[in-house]
Amino acid sequence: MKDTILNPNTKTYIYLLIFYIVILSAGFSIKDPYILTIFVFAGLNALSALGLSLLMGLAGQISLGHNGFYGLGAYLSAILSVYYKVPVLLSIVIAVTFTSLFAILLAIPALRLKGHYLAVATLGFGEIIYLLLNEWGPGGPSGFGDIPRLYLGAIELSSPLHFHLFVWTLFAVAFFFSLNLANSTYGKVLRALHASETALRTLGINIVSLKVKIFILSAFLTALSGAIYAHFVTFVSPATFSVFYSVLLLMMVMLGGIHSLWGAPIGALFITFLPETLRPFKEYDILIYGLILTLGLIFFRKGIIHLLEVGAKRWLPFLK
C-alpha cells in the first residue's frame, strides 16, 4: 500500500480503461461474427445489469420488473422509427427519455414498499408491460420486423463489429459515470441506505428522492439497452421482454457480485456466454445450466468478482 501513489478511486478508473481496451481489442482480433454477436448481446446485457446493479448494490432495492423498461425502450424506439419515420438515433433518445419519465411514475409509489412487496410490485409492473405489448404492440404477440438499423452520422452500424464497438463504448461511458456516482458523497449516502434508513432520516437526508433518482437511472440504462437491441436484431416480439429477462439480470448481478459494480459486466459476460458454450449438450443444456447456477450461488456467494479480486491479490501483488 505504501508505495502506491494512486488512491483507490483512481485505480478503478484505470481498471475500467484496461477493461475497455481489452474488450475492444478482443472485438478487433475476433474475426468470427458469431462470437462477436454474442459479445454484442453480452454488452447489451451488461448495460441492463449495470442498471440493476446500481439499484440493488447502491440503493438496496430489488426489482423484478426491469424487463418492462427493456421492452418499453425497445418497442418505443422501434415504433417511432418504423411507423413515424423518426431517425434512429433520435428515436432511441425519445424512447429512453420517455421510459425514464415513466419510471418516475412507478418509482414514487413503489419505493414506499420494501423487500418482497417491492419485488412483487415491480414484478407486476413488468408483467403488465409485457401483457400490453402482447395486446397493443404492433403485430401483437407475433411482433414486428424491418426495424431500421442504427446510423451514427452517415455510418450505418451493419456488422456485429460496429455494434460491438458501439455497445461497449456506451457501456464504458455509463460505467464511468456509475463509478463517479458510487464514489461520490451521494453514492456513499446511497450505500448507507443499506445500513440504516432511520439514521439517514435523522440526518435530514431525503431518502425517497435519492431512491427515486437511482431508480430512474437504473430504468434509463435498461431502456437504452432495449432500444439498441431493437435496432440490432431489427425484429422485436413481446416474448423477449418477459419476466424471465428480469430473472436473468438478477442472476447476472448476483453471480457477478453484488458488492461491486464490476459484478454487472462480469456476470453479463458469464451468463451470456454460458448457454453458447453449452450448445454441444443440445437440449439438455438446461440441466447443466441450472446446475452451474445453483453451484455458483452456493460456492461463490460473493460473486465471480470476489474470486477475481482474491485471485488478483494473491497472484498479482503489484496491484495492491
Partner 1 sequence: MILMRLCLFLIFLFLFHVATYASKEPIKIGAILSITGPASFIGEPEKNTLLLLADQINKAGGINGRPVQVIIEDSKSDETQAVLSAKKLIERDKVVAIIGPSTTGESMAVIPIVTQAKIPMISLAAGTAITEPVSERYWIFKTAQYDRSAVEAIYRYMQKKGIKKVGILTITTSFGDQGRKALLELAPKFGITIVADERYKPKDKDMSVQLMKAKNAGAEAIINWSVGPEQVIVVKNWHSLKLGIPLFQSHGWGSKKNIELAGPSAEGVIAPLSRIVVWDKLPDNHPQKKILRDYYMAYTARFKTEPGTFGGHAYDAFMMLVEAIRKVGPDPAKIRDYIENNIKNWPGVSGIFNMSPKDHCGLDHTSFEMVIVRNRDWEILH
Partner 2 sequence: MELFLQFLFSGITVGAIYALIALGFNIVYNATSILNLAQGEFLVFGGLLMWYFLEKLNLPYGFSFLLALGATGFVGLLMERFTIRPLQKTADPLLLILITIAFSILLRGILMFLFGKDPYGYRPIDEGPPLIIFGAILQRQVLWILLFVVLTLIFLYLFFNCTMIGRAMKACSVDKTSASLMGINTSQMVMLSFFLSGIFAGLAGILITPITFIEYDKGPLLTIKGFTSAILGGLGSNWGVMAGGFLLGILESLIAGYVHSGLKDALALLLMLIMLLFRPAGLFQSAEQARLRKL
Where do contacts with partner 1 occur on this chain (CB under 8 A)? 32-34, 37-38, 41, 134-135, 139-143, 145, 160, 233-235, 237, 239-240, 275-276, 279, 282-283, 285-286
Q: Give which of partner 2, partner 1, none residue 128 binds (C-beta under 5 to 8 Å, depending on kind).
A: partner 2
Q: What is the CA radius of gyration of the chain?
A: 20
CB nearer partner 1, residue 8 or residue 280: 280
CB nearer partner 1, residue 178 or residue 272: 272
CB nearer partner 2, residue 14 or residue 128: 128
Q: Give which of partner 1, partner 2, none residue 314 binds (C-beta under 5 to 8 Å, depending on kind).
A: none
CB of 218 to partner 1, least distance (A): 22
CB nearer partner 2, residue 26 or residue 247: 247
Of the CA atoms within 13 Å of residue 132, those in its CB half-sphere come to 13
CB of 194 to partner 1, least distance (A): 33
CB of 162 to partner 1, least distance (A): 13
DSSP the chain: -TT----HHHHHHHHHHHHHHHHHHHHHH---HHHHHHHHHHHHHHHHHHHHHIIIIIT----S-HHHHHHHHHHHHHHHHHHS---HHHHHHHHHHHHHHHHHHHHHHHTTS-HHHHHHHHHHHHHHHHHHHHHHSTTGGG-B--PPPPEETTEE--SHHHHHHHHHHHHHHHHHHHHHHHHSHHHHHHHHHHH-HHHHHHTT--HHHHHHHHHHHHHHHHHHHHHHHHHHHS-B-GGGGSHHHHHHHHHHHHHH-TTSTTHHHHHHHHHHHHHHHTGGGGGGHHHHHHHHHHHHHHH-TT-HHHHHHHHHHHH-GGG-
Q: Which residues bind partner 2 (CB under 8 A)?
A: 56, 62, 109-110, 112-113, 115-117, 119-121, 123-125, 127-128, 131-132, 134-135, 243-244, 247, 250-251, 254, 258, 283-284, 286-291, 293-294, 296-298, 301
CB of 211 to partner 1, least distance (A): 31
CB nearer partner 1, residue 216 or residue 248: 248
Q: Give which of partner 2, partner 1, none residue 2 binds (C-beta under 5 to 8 Å, depending on kind).
A: none
Q: Which three cell numbers stand for residue 106?
A: 412507478
Q: Give which of partner 1, partner 2, none residue 233 binds (C-beta under 5 to 8 Å, depending on kind).
A: partner 1
CB nearer partner 2, residue 290 or residue 311: 290
Q: Give which of partner 1, partner 2, none residue 99 binds (C-beta under 5 to 8 Å, depending on kind).
A: none
CB of 105 to partner 2, least distance (A): 12
Burial 9-33 (b: 16+ CB within 10 A, else e): eeebeeebeebbeebeeebeebeee
CB nearer partner 2, residue 86 or residue 271: 271
CB of 242 to partner 1, least distance (A): 10
